[in-house]
Amino acid sequence: MSNVIISVKDLVKKYGQFEAVKGISFDVYEGEIFGLLGPNGAGKSTSLEIIETLRDKTSGQVIVAGYNLDTHPEEIKKIIGVQLQTSGFYPGLNLIELIGLFAGLYNRKVDPKELLRSVNLEDKAKAKFKDLSGGQKQRFSIATTLINDPRIIFLDEPTTGLDPQARRNLWDLIKQIRSKGTTVIITTHYMDEAELLCDRIAIIDSGKIVALDTTDNLIDALVATGFERPKDIKKANLEDVFIQLTGHALREQ
């Protein structure tokens, strides 16, 4: 049996009269990549931010690594890594300086060069955040989630706006983080990304979970209903053509 590291029960969030999260329940297992999928406005970020201790809930229960969110939010903060809005990075500081700043906030000693190496940014140590490409900015912000050596990291749409090479590079990084035993919760509305990355998926729509299972089980369940794709799918798609022609290598260095 897998260890439950996050348990969410009957979580509700109201903004005034509007119920953005309508009583969702799910468990996340230690060491998995758990995907929260859903259209814009479904309540993904709200749910994540509540678990991250950044937003108050209206009702329900959240337990993270045995700590109850209501009574031990400080303990939860210590063991999670949260991707900050990139606007939160002082644009004029270089990457080494920014890591020093975050390490100070977390009261942790880190080797900035080692951390940058882990996200393939060692060449950019002296670069300012504002001068990085989109993919580099995302990799750096993932690096900052790792500073406190967290057991769980939260990634809210980490690949939105990236080109295909940068997305693939980020997928590799996220898998690498999982391979070290870190639990990853990710939101996305790219289904290819979810299929490739996530061990299990919760699909959330208008504040409710409408499905929760492994990717394979979700697809098999649909097929079992007699569903068939309307026409034969080609053996490759346009993204395959693009990658074939332009390669996997990152273009941002």
Which residue's beta carbon is nearest to the bound Mg ion? Answer: 45
Min separation Cβ 44 and Mg ion, Å: 5
The span of 44-52, 115-123, 207-215, 244-252 binding Mg ion (CB under 5 A) equals 44-52
H or E element, residue 240 = helix 238-246
Of the candidates 31, 45, 115, 159, which one interacts with Mg ion according to CB under 5 A?
45
Q: Which two tokens stand for residue 72?
A: 């031990």
Of the candidates 43, 112, 150, 158, which one interacts with ligand ADP according to CB under 6 A?
43
Q: Which two tokens stand for residue 209?
A: 């979970």
8 Å CB contact between 36 and 47: yes
Contact partner at residue 112 from Mg ion, ligand ADP, none, CB < 5 to 8 Å by partner kind:
none
Contact partner at residue 150 from ligand ADP, Mg ion, none, CB < 5 to 8 Å by partner kind:
none
Q: What is the DSSP code (8-state) at residue 226?
A: T
Measured from the CB atom, is 30 or 49 closer to Mg ion?
49
Strand order in the sheet with 4-15: 18-29, 4-15, 59-64, 67-68
3-class DSSP state of 21? strand
Measured from the CB atom, is 36 or 174 closer to ligand ADP?
36
Min separation Cβ 86 and Mg ion, Å: 14
3-class DSSP state of 88? helix
Min separation Cβ 41 and ligand ADP, Å: 4
The span of 41-49, 66-74, 147-155, 233-241 binding ligand ADP (CB under 6 A) equals 41-49
User: With binding defined as CB under 6 A, does residue 112 bind ligand ADP?
Assistant: no
For residue 170, give the amino acid letter: L
User: With binding defined as CB under 6 A, does residue 42 bind ligand ADP?
Assistant: yes
Q: At residue 202, what are phi and psi to the nearest 5 degrees?
A: -110, 130
Q: How many CB atoms lie within 10 A of CB 189?
A: 14
Chain positions 4 to 33 lying near ligand ADP, rule: CB under 6 A, are 15, 20
Q: At residue 149, what are phi and psi to the nearest 5 degrees?
A: 50, 55
Q: What is the 3-state secondary structure (H, E, C) of 49-111?
A: HHHCCCCCCCEEEEEECCEECCCCHHHHHHHEEECCCHHHCCCCCEHHHHHHHHHHHHCCCCC
Measured from the CB atom, is 31 or 207 closer to Mg ion?
207
Min separation Cβ 129 and ligand ADP, Å: 24
Q: Which two tokens stand for residue 98?
A: 């920014």
Measured from the CB atom, is 5 or 42 closer to ligand ADP?
42
The whole-angstrom separation of Cα 138 and Cα 176 is 15
Measured from the CB atom, is 37 or 177 closer to ligand ADP?
37
Residues that bind Mg ion (CB under 5 A): 44-45
Residues that bind ligand ADP (CB under 6 A): 15, 20, 38, 40-46
